[in-house]
Amino acid sequence: MRITLASFLAIIALAWGWEILSPGHQAVGSLAWTVYHEGLILTGLWSICLMSLAMILATRPAWLERPLGGMDQIYRLHKWSGILAVGFAAAHWLLEMADDVAETLAGGAGHVDGDELSAFAEPLRDLGEDLGEWVIYVLFALLLITLWKQFSYRLWRPLHRAMPVLYLLVVFHAVVLAPAGYWNQPIGLLLTVLFAGGSVASVLSLTGRIGRKRKVGGSIVSVRNPTPDVVEVQCRLDKQWRGHRSGQFAFVTFDIGEGAHPFTIASADNGDRTVTFDIKALGDYTRQLSRHLSPGSPVQVEGPYGRFDYHRANRRARQIWIAAGIGITPFLAWLESLQGDRATAVAADLHYCVRDRTADPFVERLEALCAGLPEVRLHVHDKQSGRLTAEALATESADAKRAEVWFCGPRGLGEALRGGLHQAWPGNRVRFHQEAFEMR
């Protein structure tokens, strides 16, 4: 993700620099004033281009899953594009507010007001400038609410849905204030493509058409509670369902007012259009879910998405599968799928981290599934047996030349194991797959 964002920002900077070096570039005054003005322009360009990227990624473009590593990584890129966009917008705003100070330090004689370089009339420029200032205040507030995890998702969701409107206002601000010379330069072409893509994405979002081609209706077949904090929902979907690969997830809507939530599909594709979701009570919505669901109730599923797929495993590497808590769901689907697909059976060590194996709802099911797969060795870790550590994994696989880890569970545990394994196995001997399942 860092490389993708850095490359994106570099492309924008190169296009901006190309325009500066072009023969038709209009100077705005002294060198000091030019540095200030171009800094103001560049921070604005980075901000609006990142906003455009975030809007395009919000449409859940499935064709980008392969190059970017899955829909979870697309959402992660969407999230950080938005955060950085607001950050650069803040820098742009601070530079704009420092206009008088810059004029004092750089000298006002002979400098040209950047607004006058625009191809639009003064009333439109004034409107664009005013809108841009008010939008940045709203964006600051929305970013703080988004980062405040305790803020109710039910309240956050309608606020976040206002982002397309704010984006279109920022596009207007950028278009009417951009220098006229930009539009016959590479930077103009880049902005045109991004603005067009972001605007189309905004319309799709505002009209509720995101993911429409991948949405399928269905009904709930059964609802049960393996434990008080886990609800298992089995659904039968309509004929339009394309099927899924084990380990994928979908956006599931049980309540139109609540909207869609991402849940891993915890069952293999048996060709009968049934999918199972094991949902842990992690918030207000999921805690109350079992009380509102019943057999026969309608459900809408959008997907499938994701590339957490054992078919992508490197057969030459030692396979280490690690799950913690509800993170076991993709591995349940894997194990179910392997029961009838022995030709692609994978030799692996499956480590399952729980608080108490005697009270866990999945241990017995895992043992039964692994009994039919001698290639998969199950290890259950709880308080009595001790925590799973990177050092223990490295010792267990010391004879392996390379290892591939597939992890699904709390982010903190995943990062600790990733860092520990890279220290224990220096170099490129460990490849670590971890789903970034934070959609907010």
DSSP track, 246-261: TT-EEEEES-TTT--E
With a cut of 80, say whether residue 210 has pLDDT above it. Answer: yes
Distance CA 360, CA 354 (A): 7
pLDDT-derived band at 401, boundaries 50, 70, 90:
confident
Which of 262, 272, 266 lies closest to 236, judged by CA?
Answer: 272
CATH of domain 212-305: 2.40.30.10
Q: At what angle do helices 163-177 and 122-147 cross, to 10 degrees?
A: 140
CATH 3.40.50.80 spans which residues of the chain?
A: 310-434
CATH, domain 310-434, list 3.40.50.80, 3.40.50.620, 3.40.50.10860, 3.40.50.150: 3.40.50.80
User: What's the pTM?
Assistant: 0.88
Look up residue 154 and give its two tokens: 């039910």
Distance CA 22, CA 177 (A): 20
β-partners of residue 249 are 264, 305
In whole angstroms, how large is the CA radius of gyration of the chain?
26
Distance CA 400, CA 347 (A): 13
List Cα–Cα distances, 13 to 36, 44, 52, 132, 256, in angstroms: 16, 11, 16, 22, 42
CB count, 10 Å around CB of 253? 18
With a cut of 80, say whether residue 323 has pLDDT above it. Answer: yes
Q: Which pLDDT belongs to residue 122?
A: 72
Q: Give SS3 for 9.
A: helix
DSSP notation for 190-249: HHHHHHHHHHHHHHHHHTT-TTGGGEEEEEEEEEEEEETTEEEEEEEE-TT-----TT-E
Instruction: Dump pLDDT digits (tens) for 59-115.
Output: 999 999 999 989 989 999 999 999 999 999 999 988 888 776 666 665 655 455 555
Show the 3-state SS of 298-361. Answer: EEEEEEEECCCCHHHCCCCCEEEEEEEHHHHHHHHHHHHHHHCCHHHCCCEEEEEECCCCCCCC
Structural contact between residues 54 and 202, judged by C-beta atoms closer than 8 angstroms: no
Distance CA 327, CA 352 (A): 9
CATH 1.20.120.1770 spans which residues of the chain?
A: 2-206
β-partners of residue 349 are 320, 377
Higher pLDDT, 152 or 113: 152
Structural contact between residues 279 and 264, judged by C-beta atoms closer than 8 angstroms: no
Q: Which pLDDT belongs to residue 420?
A: 87
pLDDT > 90 in the chain, percent: 46
Computed over every residue of the chain, the mean pLDDT equals 86
Instruction: Dump pLDDT digits (tens) for 122-137.
Output: 777 778 888 888 888 8
With a cut of 90, say whether residue 255 has pLDDT above it. Answer: no
With a cut of 80, say whether residue 192 has pLDDT above it. Answer: yes
Q: Give SS3 for 128.
A: helix
Burial class (CB in 10 A: 0-12, 13-18, 19+), 124: middle
Higher pLDDT, 384 or 116: 384
Say which residues have a Cβ less than 8 Å from residue 54's Cβ, sequence separation at least 6.
78, 81, 82, 85
Q: Which pLDDT belongs to residue 169?
A: 93
DSSP notation for 133-178: HHHHHHHHHHHHHHH-TTS-HHHHHHHHTTHHHHHHHHHHHHHHHS
Instruction: Classify domain 2-206 by CATH architecture.
Output: Up-down Bundle (1.20)
With a cut of 70, say whether residue 156 has pLDDT above it. Answer: yes
Distance CA 335, CA 153 (A): 33
Look up residue 65 and give its two tokens: 């899953």
β-partners of residue 319 are 348, 404
DSSP notation for 43-79: HHHHHHHHHHHHHHHTT--GGGHHHHTSHHHHHHHHH
CB count, 10 Å around CB of 314? 11
Instruction: Dump pLDDT digits (tens) for 416-432.
Output: 998 888 887 766 688 88
Instruction: Dump pLDDT digits (tens) for 218-236.
Output: 999 999 988 888 899 999 9
With a cut of 60, say whether residue 279 has pLDDT above it. Answer: yes
CATH 2.40.30.10 spans which residues of the chain?
A: 212-305
